[in-house]
């Protein structure tokens, strides 16, 4: 029972420092007497990718390990493929690992990642997936450990020594830079930071977007760009019953932004947003769309051959741009004091400074035209330029992941971990899922499918005997390391206390919750 003693180390006796250099990590061997029959898996990141990976593994390991060791069994392989291993050489899975335990590590004190910090506050139905994640966290075979930053508080090699398998699911924490002059000016920020600000992401809580101008320009035409435009133009009273932060709501109440332009390098057939988000913008109370019919000339013939989702989206754009609104829609738009528009065939070249050079005052755009067909269509400059005045510039040209640890391969150009179907290249026992695996594309359902596939690859490796067969200490060893470094993890029961506090704070104003945004306040409330 030696491993249990680690739990009683005093937190305050150990300063929080970076992990010791490689080679100085305490040995885990004395922990190996515990949970010898449990497959220990570590997941880094508690967003959709992390929780869906954990859910799939917990559901499938017992199924996998309880099956007879028969070749071509769909229950074993997931695809019924012949592994080319004689039956007597298949690993005795039911004896080695009759069950799995998954520890989910998260650098924030609170779970759910993009669902909490990325989904728009006026889309509460999308956040219902939290109920499923909570069920997973309540499993006796799953544990959440927040306030632990992998790469700083504990290294990936240390995790790999403590667990049979490690899955990196930490998402895309950075934004792609515009790489144009003036990008550093005050008045320019990423859409990712703006979303984090109104959703209560701790690192963005002190953002101070200047909404004193009447025009904002969003560079990008994806769902995030539409989310930001919608929040900027939604009447604040319509946001009062959402979980938007108190600080953000206060700033939006004082906003003078009346017009939002969404700028894209290509045309209507290449927009990246989906029909649901477009329909919401068209129906936005108090706002009217500005669409140039000239941008849609000849489009009716071109959409005949495109896939159905793209066709329906483009048809909705066409109707909004060219058809006279019906009586009900016209009545709704008549008093509209705000507007939004799509500027196609424009590529940002420079953020223009104000006369005193102290802040952004506009964007210089290169007029473009399209070359190529299908997926190869690209925007090329025509040589013409135009300036678009504004007081706020938001870049929404994509997210990207960051490298988490020097020991993990990383493609800095693509912003992903090099992998084959979720198996990290050249690092056995290390996997990835979600955006850090495939890039920042798709919706939550896409991430679910992707995470299940990564889980399936891990289980195939388990079945084929490619994971360590001996016992691993799991969290018992990591807890000792964290304790020695002064790191105090936040458990899921701790999160539920914070959750109750948020809900209680929101009740007084009719909100579903008032989010805590300061990690130190969260830790104080927990007595850490």
Binding-site residues from annotation for NADP(+): 221-224, 265-266, 277, 442
Q: Which residues are annotated as a binding site for FAD?
A: 49, 106, 114, 150, 435, 442-444
Q: SS3 for 388? A: strand
For 414, half-sphere exposure in the C-beta direction (CA atoms, 13 angstrom radius) is 13
CB 196 within 8 A of CB 399: no
The vertex-440 CA angle with 190 and 136, nearest 5°, equals 110
The strand ranges marked E within 324-420 are: 338-343, 346-353, 360-371, 378-389, 392-395, 399-400, 419-420
The vertex-77 CA angle with 71 and 82, nearest 5°, equals 40
Which two three-digit tokens encode residue 410?
């990383």
CB 459 within 8 A of CB 57: yes
Q: Which residues are annotated as a binding site?
A: 49, 106, 114, 150, 221-224, 265-266, 277, 435, 442-444
How far apart, in whole angstroms, are the C-alpha atoms of residue 156 and residue 163?
A: 10
Distance of CA 255 to the CA centre of its chain: 27
How far apart, in whole angstroms, are the C-alpha atoms of residue 454 and residue 514?
A: 35
CB 201 within 8 A of CB 515: no
| H/E run at residue 133 | helix 129-138
Q: Which residues are CB-neighbours of 431 under 8 A, at least 6 positions away?
A: 165, 166, 167, 168, 419, 422, 423, 424, 454, 457, 458
């Amino acid at each position: 029972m030696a491993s249990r003693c680690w739990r009683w180390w005093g937190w305050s006796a150990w300063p929080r420092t970076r992990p010791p250099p490689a080679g100085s990590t305490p040995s885990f061997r004395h922990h190996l007497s515990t949970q010898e029959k449990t497959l220990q898996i570590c997941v880094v990141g508690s967003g959709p990718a992390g929780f869906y990976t954990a859910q799939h593994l917990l559901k499938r390991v017992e199924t996998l390990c309880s099956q007879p060791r028969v070749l071509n069994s769909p229950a074993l392989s997931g695809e019924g493929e012949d592994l080319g291993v004689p039956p007597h050489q298949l690993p005795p899975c039911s004896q080695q690992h009759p069950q799995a335990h998954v520890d989910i590590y998260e650098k924030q004190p609170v779970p759910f990642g993009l669902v909490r910090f990325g989904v728009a506050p006026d889309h509460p139905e999308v956040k219902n997936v939290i109920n499923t994640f909570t069920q997973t966290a309540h499993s006796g075979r799953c544990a959440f450990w927040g306030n632990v930053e992998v790469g700083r508080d504990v290294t990936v090699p240390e995790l790999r020594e403590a667990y049979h398998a490690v899955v990196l699911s930490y998402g895309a924490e950075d934004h792609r830079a515009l790489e144009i002059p003036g990008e550093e000016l005050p008045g320019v920020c990423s859409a990712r930071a703006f979303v984090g600000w109104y959703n209560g992401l701790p690192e963005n809580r002190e953002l101070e977007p200047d909404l004193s101008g009447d025009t904002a320009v969003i560079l990008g035409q994806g769902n995030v760009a539409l989310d930001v435009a919608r929040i900027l133009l939604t009447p604040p009273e319509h946001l009062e019953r959402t979980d938007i932060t108190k600080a953000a709501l206060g700033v939006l109440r004082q906003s003078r932004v009346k017009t939002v332009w969404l700028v894209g390098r290509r045309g209507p057939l290449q927009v990246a947003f989906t029909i649901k988000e477009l329909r919401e913008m068209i129906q936005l109370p108090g706002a009217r769309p500005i669409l140039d019919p000239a941008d849609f000339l000849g489009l009716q013939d071109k959409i005949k051959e495109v896939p159905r989702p793209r066709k329906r989206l483009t048809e909705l754009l066409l109707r909004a741009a060219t058809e006279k609104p019906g009586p009900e829609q016209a009545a709704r738009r008549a008093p509209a004091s705000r507007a939004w528009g799509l500027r196609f065939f424009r590529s940002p070249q420079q953020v223009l400074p104000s006369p005193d050079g102290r802040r952004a005052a506009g964007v210089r755009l290169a007029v473009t035209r399209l070359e190529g067909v299908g997926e190869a269509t690209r925007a090329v400059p025509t040589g013409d330029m135009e300036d678009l005045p504004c007081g706020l510039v938001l870049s929404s040209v994509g997210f990207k992941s960051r490298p988490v640890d020097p020991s993990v391969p990383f493609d800095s150009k693509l912003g992903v971990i090099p992998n084959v179907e979720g198996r990290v290249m050249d690092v056995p026992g290390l996997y990835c899922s979600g955006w850090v695996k495939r890039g920042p594309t798709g919706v939550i359902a896409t991430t679910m499918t992707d995470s299940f596939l990564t889980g399936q690859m891990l289980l195939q490796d388990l079945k084929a005997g490619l994971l360590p067969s001996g016992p691993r200490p799991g969290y018992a060893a990591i807890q000792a390391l964290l304790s020695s470094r002064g790191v105090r993890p936040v458990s899921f029961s701790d999160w539920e206390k914070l959750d109750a506090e948020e809900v209680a704070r929101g009740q007084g104003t009719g909100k579903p919750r008032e989010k805590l945004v300061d990690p130190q306040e969260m830790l104080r409330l927990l007595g850490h």
